[in-house]
């Protein structure tokens, strides 16, 4: 029987690091700590090894498509796919940050939505039957949704919203934020919140697609 494998993005510190630690204790299989920076990632692995745990490491920068495809090829060749994927990598500007809102919107959505979508595009086909895909979202996403215009709320909550439409909405937010027109267009003043609203909506779209395309595989796809 092939070895099971779990992959956690952005896991050299914080929530991702804690998830890797918990999986090492509870998951019967190989657990991969991944990070953009090899040195920091390997240092995090060594920290867990000193606790008596046995995580493995693979470099993975979700903002680099080549890094994503390289990692996907590695897990496909070595394990025949992935059993658990936890999309944890993400960024948030500090409240006191003086970067223009348009810049914050572009940078935040690049990682939290667009790069995470790239991860899902390349890793979803690798998820084995009975596998799990978890997108680490935030309560801020649902709070942000309630601050959007009724028109935007209706689209985000719609069961017929497509991935292409969602991508268009996320790009529209970035464009309007950069031109200072996001409020008039129905968006609130939180790039992080909008990115998580988008991620939650993407999770719902992909879950609906999974139930149609792989109805008997028992693959679960959800946010927490």
Active-site annotation, residues: 192
Q: Are 188 and 148 in contact (CB under 8 A)?
A: yes
- What CA–CA distance (Å, rounded) separates 140 from 93? 14
The secondary structure of the chain in percent helix, strand, coil, rounded to multiples of 5, reads 55, 15, 30
**Tokens at 44, concatenated:** 């995090």
Task: Enumerate residues 6+ apart whose C-beta is below 8 A from 93.
Answer: 99, 104, 107, 108, 191, 192
Query: Across the chain, where does the E strand assignment appear?
Result: 5-8, 30-35, 56-59, 82-87, 127-135, 220-223
């Amino acid at each position: 029987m092939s070895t099971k494998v779990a992959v956690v993005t952005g896991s050299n510190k914080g929530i991702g690091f804690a998830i890797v630690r918990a999986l090492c204790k509870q998951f019967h299989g190989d657990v991969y700590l991944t990070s953009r920076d090899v040195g920091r990632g390997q240092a995090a692995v060594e920290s867990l090894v000193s606790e008596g745990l046995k995580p493995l490491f693979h470099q993975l920068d979700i903002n680099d498509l080549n890094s994503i495809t390289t990692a996907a090829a590695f897990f496909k060749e070595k394990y025949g796919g992935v059993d658990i994927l936890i999309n944890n990598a993400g960024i948030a500007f500090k409240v006191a940050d003086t970067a223009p809102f348009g810049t914050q919107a572009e940078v935040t959505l690049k990682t939290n939505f667009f790069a995470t979508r790239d991860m899902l595009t390349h890793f979803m086909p690798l998820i084995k039957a009975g596998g799990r895909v978890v997108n680490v979202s935030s309560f801020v996403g649902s709070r942000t949704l309630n601050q959007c215009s009724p028109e935007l709320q209706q689209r985000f909550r719609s069961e017929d919203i497509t991935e292409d439409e969602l991508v268009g909405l996320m790009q529209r937010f970035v464009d309007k934020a950069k031109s200072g027109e996001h409020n008039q267009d129905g968006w609130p003043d939180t790039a992080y919140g909008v990115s998580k609203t988008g991620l939650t909506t993407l999770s719902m779209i992909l879950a609906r697609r999974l139930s149609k395309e792989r109805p008997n595989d028992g693959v679960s796809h959800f946010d927490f």
